[in-house]
Amino acid sequence: MRQLVIRCTLISLALGVTAVTAGAQEGAEWDAQAVEKAVEKAKDYIWSKWSDGHWKEYPHGTDVNYYEGGTTALCAYALLASGESPQEARMQKTLKWLAEVNMKSIYARALRANVWAMLGRNSPYHNLLEQDTRWLVEAVSPEGAYTYTDRRDKSGKRLSSPYDNSNSQLAVLGVWVGSENGIEVPRGYWELVQKHWLDEQKPDGGWNYRISTSGASYGSMTAAGLATMFICFDELYRDEFIKCRANTDYEPIVRGLEWMDKNFSATENPGKDVTYYFYYLYSIERVGLASGYKYFGNQDWYKLITSNLLRNQNRLGGWGGIADTSFALLFLARGQHPVLFNKLKYSGSWNCRPRDLANFTRWVSRTFERPVNWQIIHLGVPVAEWHDAPILYISGSTAPKFTDEDIAALRQFVYQGGVIFSEAACSSSEFNMAMQNYYARLFPQYELTRLDNKHPIYDIHFRISRRRLMGVSDGVRLLAVHSPAEVSLAWQMNNYATEKDIFGLGANVYFYVTDKGSLRNRGVSPWPVAKAFTPSETVKVAVVRYGGNYNPEPLAWKRFSILMGNRDGIGVEVSEPVGIAELDASKYSAAAMTGTSAFTLSDEEQKALRKYIEGGGTLVVDAAGGSEAFADSAQKAFAGVLPGGELSPVPSDHVIYTRSGGAIERVSYRRAVRGAVADSHKPRLQGVLYKDRFAIIFSRDDLTAGLLGYPCWGLVGYEPDSAFALMRNILMYACGKTAP
C-alpha cells in the first residue's frame, strides 16, 4: 500500500481556491527553521483576516448562508493543526462561534468535525464531534457518495442524486476523524463508500470529479481516491491480519499509487494544469497520513512541495487567499511532526500488519500529547534520507532477502546514529533465524543476546512484566533491538487496553532511543552534509587501537571532521585505527583513545605512549558512554605512562575553555547526569601535566557519543553541541593553535 491526492471543486468554488505559480526547479534545499518561519507568517496572515469569532464566508450560488461556517472551520482547523492553542482567546471565541452555526453543507460539516477532533477526547466539544460524524454518516447517498448537502425527500428518505468525488472525499475524512476518536461508525457505511470509489476508479488507476466526466484522471482527485481506499482498507480489513497470510497488495491502491508514481508533481495539480493546487497539497498530505509512504516513486513529496511553498509565499505570509493559505498551512504543519519510526519496505513479507505503526504512533501521540508520525521507506534511496526517524522498524514473517549493498546501507544508518527495531510477525522462527544471521553480518564484533531483565528499556517509563527482547550493543548504546515474539499484532488490532505491555514496550523503546523524547522535526538529520571549503589549517588525529573496544562509534570522528569544516573551516584528518606502538608525534599532534570496558596496557604500550608524549603529542581520552570501568582503567594506566601521572582538573580559566573565537562559557550535560553534576553548566575535564602542558586530557564524561550526535537514555556525558565544542578546543590546544 502507499499514498493519496484530491481535487475539490466544492472547496475550490465555494472558498475561492486558486493555483500557485511554479517556482524554481524542484528539489531545492530547505530547513526546519525556514518551515517554522513560513508557518508562523501564514498563521499571522490568517489571523489578520479574522473578525469577531469568524472569517468572512465565501457564498456559493445565490444562497449566502448555504456554506456558512466552512471558511471559519477551515481556518480554525489549519491554525490548530499548526500548534495554535485552543485556549487562545481568539480561538476560544472561534470555537464558540462554530459550535453555534447550523451548518447545511457537507464540506463545512466535514471541516468542523476535523476542528473538534483536533481538541481531543476530553474536550467539551467532543459531543459535537459525535453529532457531526453521525450527520455525515446519515447524509451519504444510497450509492455511497455525497453532493453539496444532505438530500432527502419529504419523508426523510435519502435520495440518489448527482454526486461529486470532492464532496465525497471531504465527508469521508470527517467521518474518519470521528472514528479515530472513538465514535462508532457502522461497517455498512465503509462498505458503501468503498463500493462507490471502486466503481469510480478509471482504467489508468486514477480518479477524477466523477466517472462520467470526460477527460483523464488528475492529481487531486486521484489523491482523494487513494486516501479513501486506505481508510476503507483500514476500517474493513484490519481483522484479516491476525494471521500473516493476508494479501496487503490491495489492487485499487496499487493501481492508484502507480498513477501517482508516474504523474506526481510538486508544483502543479498533475493532469489539471495548475488549478486546485492547494487542495491537492492537503490531499497529498492525507495520503501520507493514511499510508505512511514517504515517496512517490523515488520523490520525497513533502520535501519537494515544501521547497515550492517556501519559494512562493508572499510578503504578507499567505499563498493567495485565506483558503489557499489554510490548505498550505495544513500541509506544512502536519509534515513538521517528528517521525518516530521508518518502516522498511524490502523484498519479502515486510507488511504483514499494515496498520501497526499507524495505530501505535497514534497511541503515542494521544498518550504523551505530542504528535508523532511514521513513514515507509525503501532500500533504493540514499541512507541520508532515512534519518527523518531515529528508529528503523523491520517486520516480517519470512526471511528477508538483503543483498550485500542492503547490509552496507543498514550498517551505515546505525553507525550514523540510528537504531534498528525488528520484530517477528506471527513470532516467525524463519524471520528470527534470518535476522540473527543478518545481525551477525552487520555487527560481527558484537553479539545479539537477550537483554538483561534490569535493562532500562523495560522500565524507563512503563514497567514491563513480559521481558523478552534481544539486542546488539556496542557498549555505549543498543545498535539494534529485536523481538522474537510479535508485537505488530497488538498494534495492528489497536489493543492498547488489553495489551498494555506491548504498547508500553514500544513506548519504552521510543524513550530509550530518544533520551525520553528528544525528537527532530521531519527533514532535520543529525548527519551533516559536508560543504566545500579551503581549510585555514589542518589537524591530524590518530585513533588509538588497543586490546579493548577501542572504536565503538566508528563514524564519530567522521561527523566531527565534517562539522569542523562546515563551522570553522578547519580540516581534520583522522587516521584508521593505529596501534600504540605506531604513534608518531611528528605525524599526529593528537591521539584519541576511547572505550567501554576495563583494559590494561603492557609495559611496552606505556613506554610507547610516553615516547609519543615526549615527542610533543597529546593523548585525548574519554570514557565512551561514560563507562566507569574504562575510566578507572585509564586512570590507573596514566600512572605508568608518565612519572607522577596523576589527574588534576583543567582550570576554568585554561585556554581550552577560553580560546579566542571559541570560548566555552557553559556546557550542557545529558539528561542522565544533569542532577548529579554540582555545576550543571561547568565542564569537568581533567589532565596530566607534562612540562607545563596538559599532555593527557581526560574526560570521564562521554565525548564520543556526543560527537556522533544522537540522543540516547543513560549516556553519562555531554550533549552533542558541547561535546563538539570541547573536542574542537582540545584539538586546537593539542596542535599548538592556542597558547598554553
* Domain range list for the chain: 9-336, 340-513, 537-734
> CA geometry: angle at 522 spanning 517 and 528, to 5°?
95
Query: For the segment 709-737, what is each residue's pLDDT rounded down to a tens digit?
Result: 999 999 999 999 999 999 999 999 998 86
340-513 against 537-734: fold identical: yes
Query: What does the pLDDT read at residue 155?
Result: 60
β-pair partners for 402: none
- Rounded CA-CA distance 674/187 in Å is 52
Closest CA to 664 of 648, 651, 677, 675: 651
DSSP notation for 443-463:
-TTS--EEPPTT-GGGTSSS-
CATH classification of 340-513, choosing from 3.90.950.10, 3.40.50.1820, 3.40.50.12140, 2.102.10.10? 3.40.50.12140
Helix, strand, coil percent content, the chain, rounded in steps of 5: 45, 15, 40
Query: For the segment 510-538, what is each residue's pLDDT rounded down to a tens digit?
Result: 999 999 988 887 777 889 999 999 999 99
- Cα separation of the two ends of the chain: 62
Residue type, position 492, single letter: Q
Query: What does the pLDDT read at residue 705?
Result: 98
Indicate if the alpha-carbon torsion angle 506, 507, 509, 513 is positive or negative. positive
Which residue reads 473538534 in cell numbers?
116
- Rounded CA-CA distance 42/45 in Å is 5
Q: Do 552 and 476 meet the contact criterion of CB atoms below 8 Å apart?
A: yes
CATH no., domain 9-336: 1.50.10.20
SS3 201: coil
Query: For the segment 592-611, what is each residue's pLDDT rounded down to a tens digit?
Result: 999 999 999 999 999 999 99
Closest CA to 564 of 530, 524, 527: 530
Residue type, position 232, single letter: C
Query: What does the pLDDT read at residue 18?
Result: 38
Query: What does the pLDDT read at residue 336?
Result: 73
Query: For the segment 209-224, what is each residue's pLDDT rounded down to a tens digit?
Result: 877 766 789 889 999 9
CATH classification of 537-734, choosing from 3.40.718.10, 3.40.50.12140, 3.40.1390.10, 3.90.550.10? 3.40.50.12140
List, for the chain, all residue ranges whose pLDDT scores fall below the cut of 70: 1-30, 58-67, 151-161, 213-214, 246, 272-274, 678, 737-740
Q: Do 472 and 446 meet the contact criterion of CB atoms below 8 Å apart?
A: yes
The backbone torsions φ and ψ at residue 164, rounded to the nearest 5 degrees and listed phi first, read -145, 150
Query: What does the pLDDT read at residue 23?
Result: 32
Query: What does the pLDDT read at residue 249?
Result: 78
Query: What does the pLDDT read at residue 274?
Result: 57
- Rounded CA-CA distance 6/44 in Å is 27
Three-state SS letters, 694-711: EEEEEECCECHHHHHCCC
